[in-house]
């Protein structure tokens, strides 16, 4: 296991949370070991949060779309989830909820009703650290998924293959581990479910009538549960989900030998996620020096993380919602069933500029288009929370250590110091001098516009 130090603790928090504040880091360092931190808070099963509003229990109706209620509710749903992320403390449940939201990607444009998407989001939260096999069983008859991948219209006599294909290809096994015949036969088994309002019901007359089908080499009268049990008996299944977890939390190029170790842990734990995460986050592999600061933050990590880093007590969630679309990661609206590809796809000449515009808005109180935002940074009191706030050189070092997971060059540090000083000399710098607020604004903007700030 890696040495318990500030670098490794910040790496763990940077990968498992939506960013962290200086206070979060101090609290985390108060635990004696990584195991203590994981057991006490990071992997702790917390009670489910209160829903965003009573509309979550409202039966879907066409009038809700024509009146614009669904659009209003989706906004509220986004604000609610941003708030949970912002106030997550030292618990990674919301990070796992987003992981599963991307793994089992559904698009709001097709699902239509936020009530169905909320139920799915709650399902991910229920199984964030729970049993992955059981989650797959329940997502297979989840109303949002049935609508999105056309299971709602699937009959045994004329099965729709969309969900069966994605179940094998994207959700459990991966390409190359099944045949077209497996997809076709699995589609029959998965038929028979129909969405009615907020629930899905099994309708026996819509199910397949054959005495048996053959899937992945086994012939039986499968139902949804026994089919998924059979899928999870395949060696490829544990490796597939472990590879995806590795790419999300460790490095975008998987170490296949370590993925096999993860898969062995997952199988031995009967597909419980928590023991796997504990194994992963206490491994030397996770703390490999080359992996530190190697992940490009997704837009949600960037936006929520920047708000937490600046210790904003009440971020402007309207700003986050609007910018999520500009930065190409609108929650509940992934690009397709494969989800957001991530890593280098997050950065382009357009999105990089808007990322800087977003972090600027937290400091200046103005968006790139001039619209005012609430909850902006008050620079002087924030700067004075650093122990070296009156020592310009050391202050720059402290801010870089907290804000940046990837070390910056001496030349860049010199630039940041020059920005902070704004023409004065080091010995004359103080947070109590006139005009220092504007200097600090420019300094924090410069730090958060560095390429290194895009990494965690």
Q: Label residues 212-244 b or e (16+ Cβ within 10 Å = b).
A: ebebbeeeeebebeebbebbbebebbbbbbbbb
Distance CA 312, CA 51 (A): 23
Query: pLDDT of 124-138, one tens digit each?
Result: 999 999 999 999 999
Q: DSSP class of residue 177?
A: S
Distance CA 332, CA 334 (A): 6
pTM for this entry: 0.98
Cβ-based neighbours of 300, under 8 Å, separated by 6 or more? 18, 85, 98, 324, 329, 331
Residue 8, number of CB atoms within 10 A of its CB: 16
Distance CA 293, CA 297 (A): 10
Query: pLDDT of 144-154, one tens digit each?
Result: 999 999 999 99
> Residues 286, 250: contact at Cβ < 8 Å?
yes
User: Nearest Cα to 282, choosing from 252, 250, 324?
Assistant: 250
DSSP H or E stretch at residue 117: helix 114-126
Residue 191 has pLDDT above 80, yes or no: yes
CA distance to 17, 113, 379, per residue, from 118 (Å): 21, 9, 37
Q: Say what percent of the chain tops pLDDT 70.
A: 100
Rounded (to 5) percent helix, strand, coil in the chain? 55, 5, 40
Q: What is the domain partition of the chain in residue ranges?
A: 380-454
Per DSSP bridges, beta strands 213-215 and 193-196 are unpaired
Q: Look over the chain and give the mean of its residue pLDDT values, rounded to a whole number.
A: 97
Q: What is the pLDDT of residue 5?
A: 94
DSSP H or E stretch at residue 149: none
Residue 368 has pLDDT above 90, yes or no: no
| Reduced 3-state DSSP string for 196-211 | ECCEEEECHHHCCCCC
Give residue 2's pLDDT band: very low, low, confident or very high (50, 70, 90). Answer: confident
- Using only the alpha carbons of the chain, give its radius of gyration: 24
Q: Specify the residue for token string 């030397």.
A: 284
Q: Specify the residue for token string 């990071």.
A: 42
Query: pLDDT of 39-66, one tens digit each?
Result: 999 999 999 999 999 999 999 999 999 9
Task: Please give the average per-residue pLDDT across 338-346, as a whole number.
Answer: 97
Query: pLDDT of 232-283, one tens digit each?
Result: 999 999 999 999 999 999 999 999 999 999 999 999 999 999 999 999 999 9
Distance CA 32, CA 362 (A): 34
Residue 1 has pLDDT above 80, yes or no: no
> Residues 107, 148: contact at Cβ < 8 Å?
yes
What's the burial of 195, exposed, middle or buried (CB within 10 Å: 0-12/13-18/19+)?
A: buried
Residue 300 has pLDDT above 90, yes or no: yes
Q: Specify the residue for token string 């979060």.
A: 24
Task: Please give the average per-residue pLDDT across 182-202, as a whole number.
Answer: 98
Task: Please give the average per-residue pLDDT across 72-95, as a whole number.
Answer: 98
């Amino acid at each position: 296991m890696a040495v318990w130090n500030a670098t490794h603790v910040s790496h763990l928090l940077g990968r498992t949370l939506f960013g962290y504040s200086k206070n979060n880091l101090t609290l985390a360092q108060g635990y004696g070991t990584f195991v203590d931190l994981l057991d006490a808070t990071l992997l702790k099963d917390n009670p489910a949060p209160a829903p965003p509003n009573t509309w979550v229990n409202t039966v879907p109706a066409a009038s809700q779309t024509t009146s614009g209620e669904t659009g209003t509710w989706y906004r509220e749903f986004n604000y609610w989830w941003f708030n949970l992320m912002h106030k997550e403390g030292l618990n990674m449940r919301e990070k796992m909820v987003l992981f599963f939201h991307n793994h089992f990607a559904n698009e709001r444009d097709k699902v239509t009703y936020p009530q169905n998407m909320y139920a799915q989001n709650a399902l991910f939260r229920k199984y964030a650290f729970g049993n992955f096999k059981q989650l797959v069983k329940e997502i297979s008859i989840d109303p949002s998924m049935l609508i999105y991948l056309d299971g709602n219209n699937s009959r045994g006599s004329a099965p729709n293959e969309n969900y069966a294909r994605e179940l094998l290809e994207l959700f459990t096994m991966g390409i190359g581990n099944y045949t077209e015949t497996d997809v076709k036969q699995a589609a029959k088994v998965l038929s028979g479910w129909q969405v009615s309002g907020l629930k899905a019901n099994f309708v026996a007359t819509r199910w397949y009538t054959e005495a048996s089908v053959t899937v992945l080499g086994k012939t039986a009268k499968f139902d949804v549960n026994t089919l998924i049990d059979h899928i999870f008996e395949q060696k490829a299944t544990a490796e597939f989900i472990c590879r995806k977890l590795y790419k999300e939390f460790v490095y975008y190029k998987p170490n296949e030998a370590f993925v096999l170790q993860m898969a062995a842990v997952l199988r031995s734990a009967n597909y419980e996620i928590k023991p796997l995460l504990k194994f992963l986050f206490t491994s030397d592999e996770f703390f490999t020096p080359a992996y530190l600061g190697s992940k490009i933050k997704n837009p949600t990590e960037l936006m929520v993380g920047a708000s937490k880093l600046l210790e904003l007590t009440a971020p402007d969630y309207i700003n986050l919602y609007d910018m999520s679309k500009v930065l190409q990661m609108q929650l509940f609206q992934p690009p397709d069933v494969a989800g957001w590809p991530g890593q280098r796809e997050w950065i382009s000449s357009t999105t990089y500029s808007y990322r800087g515009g977003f972090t600027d808005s937290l400091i200046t109180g103005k968006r790139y288009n001039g619209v005012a935002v609430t909850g902006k940074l008050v620079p002087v009191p924030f700067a004075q929370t650093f122990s070296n706030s009156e020592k310009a050189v050391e202050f720059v070092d402290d801010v870089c250590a907290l804000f940046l997971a990837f070390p910056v060059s001496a030349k860049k540090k010199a630039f940041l110091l020059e920005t902070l000083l704004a023409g004065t000399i080091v010995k004359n710098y103080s947070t109590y001098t006139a005009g220092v607020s504007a200097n600090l604004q420019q300094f924090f903007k410069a730090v958060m516009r560095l390429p290194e700030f895009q990494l965690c």
